[in-house]
Amino acid sequence: MVDQRQLLIKGDRHEVEARYYADAPLLAREQLRQFENAWQASTVSREFSDLKL
């Protein structure tokens, strides 16, 4: 995600190339919604919580 209009998508962590969308507000908002849902559903790693950051 670049911002709410521009988007850079890399399909897989092993891929070298990514797709850039210069003006895709609907796609960018959908990707942001999916990310926020995944973020809210995630749990904190025990190792990170012990760091007390």
4-47 pLDDT per residue, tens: 889 998 888 898 999 999 999 999 999 889 988 998 998 877 77
Q: Report helix, strand and coil shares of the chain as percent, to nearest 5.
A: 40, 10, 50
Give a yes or no: residue 1 inside a domain: no
Tokens of 26: 């609907």
pLDDT of residue 25: 93
Give a yes or no: residue 37 inside a domain: yes
- Residue 19: which residues within 8 A CB-CB, separation 6 or more? 8, 9, 10, 11
What is the tally of structural domains in the chain?
1
Q: What does the chain come to in residues? A: 53
Give a yes or no: residue 2 inside a domain: no
With cut-offs at 50, 70 and 90, classify the pLDDT of residue 53.
low
pLDDT of residue 41: 92
What pTM did the predictor assign?
0.64
Give a yes or no: residue 40 inside a domain: yes
Measuring CA to CA, which residue among 7, 51, 9, 46 is closest to residue 29? 7
